[in-house]
Amino acid sequence: MANGSPLGPPFSTTATAPASRIAARSSAVASAVRQTIAAPPPGPSTQERYRQAAEAVVDGYLEHYPTSAVELGLHQYDGKLPDMTAEGIKARSAWLAEQLAGWQKFLVRHMRRISFAPVGANNATQKADFGDLLAGH
């Protein structure tokens, strides 16, 4: 090979490639390899995240309402009753509010976009009249 390396110009060890350039290239290659190895794998798809969220809601519902689970034929809940104490009702209420918060926010924003689109809030004055109802519009 003319440049002294069977691997070609980037790996040349002749006088035409100073040691500092070789070191810089080696460092850049090593950095790229480290980033590739350290990069997290791609996350789950939207469909997979939706499936996981739906399963979590259903599983939580069945835990909080085991009699409904028994009616569905899920025998692992046989003999269990919902906690009807004040603490149990409060815990169920808090769980339900937590589960529905994200969906409620999405649905409210979506419905506002649909509702206000025909109104014609097309300029700053009209948008100001509607306040923050058009946030995200």
CB neighbour burial string for 31-64, b if at least 16 within 10 angstroms, e if fewer: eeeeeeeeeeeeeeeeeeeeeeeeeeeeeebbeb
Please report, for the chain, how many H helices and E strands are present, in that order.
5, 0
Q: Are residues 34 and 51 in the same domain?
A: no
More confident residue, 73 or 37: 73
Q: What is the pLDDT of residues 5-46, one digit of tens each?
A: 555 555 555 555 566 766 666 776 667 666 666 656 677 787
| Structural domain span for residue 68 | 46-134
Q: Are residues 61 and 84 in the same domain?
A: yes
The answer as to whether 2 is a domain residue is: no
Domains of the chain: total: 2
Task: Read off the pTM.
Answer: 0.46
